[in-house]
Amino acid sequence: MEWQPVRKTRTFEEVLAQIERRIAEDGLTAGDRLPGERQLAGQLHVSRASVREALRVLETLGVVSSQAGRGPDAGAVLISRPESALADLLRLHLGTASLSLDEVIDTRLMIEQWAVLHAHPGHAPAALDAMAAALERMEAAATPQEFVDHDVAFHLGVAMLSGNRLLAATMRALRQTIHAFSVAAVERAGQTGLLMADHRRIHELVAAGDGPAAARAVTEHLARAYPPAPDGPPEA
């Protein structure tokens, strides 16, 4: 058996794990407020960007609601307890399992198609807001890494449409599996104009309530983002 490279954990994932652990250990419930972004960054000795990304993930999963404010009004409000054991299991399994890129993309396609076809009216506004915010951040991204980080948030927003938290958790785990490949793909492309056009179209069709067209747009987008290699698909 050959040794495999150790996967490097990104800072925001460590922040996410600590926030999940504090929620569990402190017995926080819906309505409780987390420390503000600046305070958390200082306590954890990380950048505010890392804290912001972790909170964005929790917001996408329906765990917190981020609200602007200062002093006692600063910090995200807990709206549900995270299913941390399930999320950890998914991250561990999908991060280490030997999955091909085709398997990951096929699963993503099923999740996103189902989500846009079964968008729940009660969850669509929050999902659309998350997708719109991710679009703005992708437009302003200075590096492929930044672009892909916000691309993750956009597709998590797509998964949120159905209101099924397991789908969102699965999507996040799948995205982590191919994150490095996604960054490399953006670097090879050298531009993100076509991908941005795909994202905007998906958002517009979902907002218009056209599920079938949005499902087709998702299919076309994933085919553009991950074209098959000439000598077979690379491993994730």
List pLDDT tens digits, range 169-214: 788 777 767 777 788 878 877 788 999 999 999 999 999 999 999 9
SS3 232: coil
Structural domain boundaries enclosing 40: 11-78
**What is the percent of the chain where pLDDT is above 70?**
78
pLDDT mean over 153-176: 82
26 and 53 co-located in one domain: yes
The reported pLDDT for the residue numbered 24 is 72
Give whichever of 68-77, 88-97, 150-159, 227-236 has the largest mean pLDDT.
150-159
Which of 78, 97, 118 finishes a domain? Answer: 78
Q: Is residue 3 part of a domain?
A: no
We report the CATH number of the domain holding residue 186 as: 1.20.120.530
The span from the CA of 174 to the CA of 98, in Å, is 12
Which two structure tokens, joined as six digits, stand for 51?
Answer: 């804290």
- Give the global pTM: 0.63
Residue 118 confidence (pLDDT): 92
What is the domain-level CATH number for residue 62?
1.10.10.10
Distance CA 203, CA 197 (A): 10
Share of the chain above pLDDT 90, in %: 22
Residue 147 covered by a domain: yes
Q: Which two tokens stand for residue 67?
A: 């609200």
Output the pLDDT for position 17: 77
SS3 183: helix
pLDDT in tens, 23-64: 777 777 778 888 888 888 898 888 888 888 788 777 766 677
